[in-house]
Structure 1
Amino acid sequence: MERLTDQDLAELRELCPGGVSMNVDLASISQWKIGGTADVILRPSSSAQVANLRRWFHERQMPHVAVGLTSNLLFSDEGLRVPCLQIGPRMGAVAINGTNVYAQAGTWVPGLARKLMKAGLTGGEHICGIPGTLGGLICMNGGSQRKGIGTSVVTVESVDQGGFRCVRSVTDCGFAYRQSVFQGNNEVITSANLRFVPGDRAVVRAEMRAILAERRQKFPRKQPNCGSVFKSNPAMYAEIGPPGEAIERLGFKGTRVGGAEVSPEHANFIVNRGGARARDVLALIAAIKHKVECATGYQLQAEGHYVGASGTIMPLDGGSQEDMPPDQPGCGGPAGP
């Protein structure tokens, strides 16, 4: 794959002043603490910078990838050979005007929830424990307690592959359970306008504390992880229960491959016990999917995504050329614990 020249880097530094980093250890920015080395990471500070960078890449037909705080990503053990746009704290501005909220895509979600509480607004309590950026939350229509951020969205601004900025109303965002149009259109979310409703600050604070306390009791916090690995399927939930319950019943808690482990605290989490590699995580995911389907007839779907060295992004259970383990045997085979 063609590398960036010195002239390329000089131009990128002009387009993204103060935001260009070379030879970045992906494990240092990964929530899972997994990944090789990225050749270059660009951290823009505005929608205009995102548009200019994407236009620059488009004009040169140069592939690139965009990420947030990586709370639902697994990076390749081979690293990342294409330029990476990371939308993070440099794009974290928030402005609250009555019930209307403007926030850039790099806004840290728990911080946004606290700002809403302090402003006496309700409707954002369910996001208070989600450790990611607003852009990633909107892309996944994320939330907790079976809620999604899409219910609070008014408009979303994004930048397409050619560097053109687009504003969509909530009806054009295609929000469904853990889904949005942004999951398949290769656009980078840069900001959003949201609307919440007035509430009692003390009541909102109490609900947020209760949600955080429940998360602390249920979910692993000490080892690096990317949150829930598998999505909840409403039909499976009604018949079998949530993914973690089905996985636990099959004896996966504590199962390890290399440094990756199915958390003893919650079976829908895979934690890095130290030195885990991407292929370790992928092997566990493949084994879990195989056994759950054999036992229940339901196919689990991964929440997160895998980022290959070439910048290809695919579902965690979608395989990869470089890290994917061998195919699983039939339902009578020895896969899993």
Structure 2
Amino acid sequence: MPLASLGRWGIGGPADIVVTPQSASTLAAALAVIAEYDARHIVIGDGSNVLFDDAGFRGVVLRIGRGLGGIRRLDEQRVEAGAGMWVPAFVRQVIDWGMAGAVHAIGIPGTLGGLITMNGGSQRKGIGENVAHVDAIDHQGRMRRLTHDQLDYRYRASRLQRGDLIVVSAQLRFAPGDRTAMRREALSILAARRAKFPRVRANCGSVFVSDPALYSRIGPPGLAIERAGLKGVSVGGAQISPDHANFIVNNGGARAQDVLHLILLARRSVADLSGIAMDAEVRHLAPDGVMRPAHEVAELLGDRTLPGATA
């Protein structure tokens, strides 16, 4: 199966096998078989934060999807939700139950497991502050429970990013909130996203993490990239979006190599401007299964194999 069909960028070569478990037990069984045969494998959600390599991936892709979704209310302040639940649907349900604290994530495309792993969010907030505990499976198919303290949440980071555990479900805690006010805030966030973020061309969302030092010196990554004169710059079929410079869009036929060049160009240009090197939220999957932050891969490639950029 082409990985391009699994990711939001529409980029990536073939994968040998793709498995979409429909329950925690089938995920555990799949992992046990993979461990028995020592098969190369990776785990993804909806692929919104992954740049698949042009050469694809020689191994098994475990895709956490809607079969591991679902949500239930435990009491007035707590919910339990599956890793495969679509984030906007999760936020809407939490709002309907009168729970405050998740509205900032209303416009984030992706699954809850990915959001929890990345401590994702917007407006400089992260879902990690609401996570009470996570139930996860290791790569031998064994269940583990991690408390909030064990998850080591930091800005856009958590212990889960080590990759040795796969989120199955989580319990989250919220404060009481006014439904009407939260719905109004959610609509406002969605309207703002529609006005400034690219919607037509394939993209993965924000490419770079907002750095506090950069934010105080220039502003968010998109503004810094724009100040560096790169808004609208293209390499091959990839382009730094003319709508928002922290997005890279696929204008048709883009390759992973094109995206990596733009990441490198943006990172070096902003570093020249500000003295601060931005880190990517996006992770690159290599053909051998190694997953690294995309800026690290871009720096490794350097100027050796990357084509020129055009405005």
TM-score between both structures, scaled by the size of structure 1: 0.88
Distance in 1, matches of 2:268 and 2:310, equals 8
Among 51, 54, 64, the alignment partner of 1:74 is 51
Task: Give the aligned partner of residue 282 of structure 2.
Answer: 304
Could you list the runs of 4 or more consecutive aligned residues of structure 1 that deviate by over 4 angstroms after TM superposition?
334-337
Amino acid of the structure 2 residue aligned with 1:128? I
Percent pairwise identity? 45
Task: Give the aligned partner of residue 120 of structure 1.
Answer: 98
Task: Give the aligned partner of residue 34 of structure 2.
Answer: 57
Call closer, same or farther: CA 1:275–1:302 in 2, change over 3 Å. Answer: same
Call closer, same or farther: CA 1:60–1:328 in 2, change over 3 Å. Answer: closer
Shift of 1:243: 1.1
Distance in 1, matches of 2:256 and 2:305, equals 17
Amino acid of the structure 2 residue aligned with 1:179? A
Tell me if the contact between 1:77 and 1:278 (Cα under 8 Å) persists in the aligned partners.
yes
Distance in 1, matches of 2:310 and 2:280, equals 17
Distance in 1, matches of 2:211 and 2:221, equals 8
**Counterpart mapping for 1:15-164 below 5 A:** 24-98=1-75, 99-164=77-142
Distance in 1, matches of 2:246 and 2:70, equals 33
Structure 1 unmatched runs, 5+:
1-23
Deviations 1:161-214 (A, max 9, x none): 222111011111000100100111421111101111222211110010011111
The DSSP-based 3-state class of the residue aligned with 1:33 is coil
Shift of 1:288: 1.1
Task: Give the aligned partner of residue 3 of structure 1.
Answer: none
The DSSP-based 3-state class of the residue aligned with 1:232 is coil
Q: Does 1:283 align with 2:264?
A: no
Q: Does 1:207 align with 2:185?
A: yes
Task: Give the aligned partner of residue 212 of structure 2.
Answer: 234
Distance in 1, matches of 2:283 and 2:301, equals 13
Task: Give the aligned partner of residue 246 of structure 2.
Answer: 268
TM-score between both structures, scaled by the size of structure 2: 0.95
Deviations 1:78-107 (A, max 9, x none): 112100000011111111233211111011
Tell me if the contact between 2:260 and 2:298 (Cα under 8 Å) persists in the aligned partners.
no
User: Relative to structure 2, which stretch is displaced further, 303-312 or 124-133?
Assistant: 303-312
User: Relative to structure 2, which stretch is displaced further, 52-61 or 144-153?
Assistant: 52-61
Shift of 1:275: 1.0
Larger radius of gyration: 1
Structure 2 unmatched runs, 5+:
none
Distance in 1, matches of 2:20 and 2:11, equals 20
The DSSP-based 3-state class of the residue aligned with 2:203 is coil
Distance in 1, matches of 2:112 and 2:210, equals 21
Call closer, same or farther: CA 1:25–1:58 in 2, change over 3 Å. Answer: same
Distance in 2, matches of 1:258 and 1:325, equals 17
Distance in 1, matches of 2:225 and 2:304, equals 20
